[in-house]
Structure 1
Amino acid sequence: MGAGKTTLGKRLAKILDLPFVDTDKMVTSDHGSIKNLFAMKGEAHFRDLESAALVRALNNQGVVATGGGIVLSQENRALLSQNATIFLDTNMEFVLRSLNVTKRPLLKDNPEMWEQIYQDRLELYKEVSVATVNTANTSVGAIMKNLESEVRKYV
């Protein structure tokens, strides 16, 4: 959460002249806000919608930005492992400076939960990724240079 997946993904897609899709945006355009989905139907329902969006997004053969929790599903991890998945790593201080936590159901009541969520998912992110690019306290230009370099190994 808050590592810059959407922003950086859009830029990368433009550089590579590929389509860009964001699984969270797919879910929200079809089903409404994530905050409301969590409140009305629960996290499990949202995760099912997120998984379906991932399958559709990967069929686009472009740059895909996913929600941070996409790795919680074994099926999603299998799909991500079959693609050139890049883990955008960051840290809590960087994220909490820039993220609007009121729009994040898992953080709205306790922003410091970000660190626990990160630690709980870290090995899963590493499991599915071919590379890691750090986004904390790094210029967008430097991040994009690293990201493009990693992706070009697989495109």
Structure 2
Amino acid sequence: MAVGKSAIGQQLAQQLGARFVDTDAEVVARHGTIAEIFATRGECAFRELEARAVAQAIEDAGGAPTVISLGGGAVLDSGTQQLLAGCTVVYLECDADTVSERIARNSGRPLLAGDAMERWRTLFATRQPVYERLADLVLDVRSGSVQELARRLEDALEEPAAGRSGAPASTPAATKEVEL
């Protein structure tokens, strides 16, 4: 949450000449703002919409190079976790100090109502083990511009150890989708 998934993902897609999909933006385009969905239908309904958006983005990629930015809680869904098994998953690693200013500027995050940083710490403590377990690559985003971070990620994706298959991530099978 607030680690720069959309900005870094968009920059990476541009560098790779790949399609970019932000699943939160897809949900918003089809169903209204995330805050509205939470307020009128609840978190459970939002998570269902989110899981469908992720599944659709992966299906639509159809083997073409695609960078998909997932919402911070999307990976908690077991179905989404199964779909990600066939993708290169990148965990953008951050800490509270790095995200605090971003969170302060954006008060429209329903899960961060109240004491936003305390809620972020609680959510992160729950999600971090899942992020680490699913990740093929970890990118520390505590410092560097969006362009620098995307370049570092592109370099990491080109290394032979990148991707679950053990093949270089630049091969179509390993770069079918890059999930952030």
Q: Per the shorter chain, which TM-score range?
A: over 0.9
Shift of 1:154: 1.4
Aligned counterparts, 1:31-110, within 5 A: 31-61=31-61, 62-99=66-103, 100-110=105-115
Further displaced range: 140-149 or 59-68: 140-149
**Matching residue of 1:142:** 148
Inter-partner Cα distance in structure 1 for 2:3 and 2:60 = 23
For 1:139, give the aligned amino acid: S
1:24 paired residue number: 24
Q: 1:96 corresponds to which letter in structure 2?
A: S
Is 98-107 or 110-119 further displaced after alignment?
98-107
Larger radius of gyration: 2
SS in 1 for 2:111: coil
Aligned to 1:146, the other structure's residue is in SS state helix
Is the contact made by 1:72 and 1:121 (CA closer than 8 Å) also made in structure 2? yes
Gaps (5+ residues) in structure 1?
none
2:169 maps to a residue whose letter is: Y
Distance in 2, Cα, partners of 1:115 & 1:32: 27
Per-residue deviation, 1:6: 0.3
Change (3 A) 1:135 1:146: same
In the aligned structure 2, how far is the partner of 1:81 from the partner of 1:138? Answer: 29
Higher relative contact order (CA 8 A, sep 6+): 2
Q: What are the ranges of 5 or more consecutive residues in structure 2 without an aligned counterpart? A: 159-167, 171-180
**Given the alignment, which residue of 154, 169, 173 partners 1:154?**
169
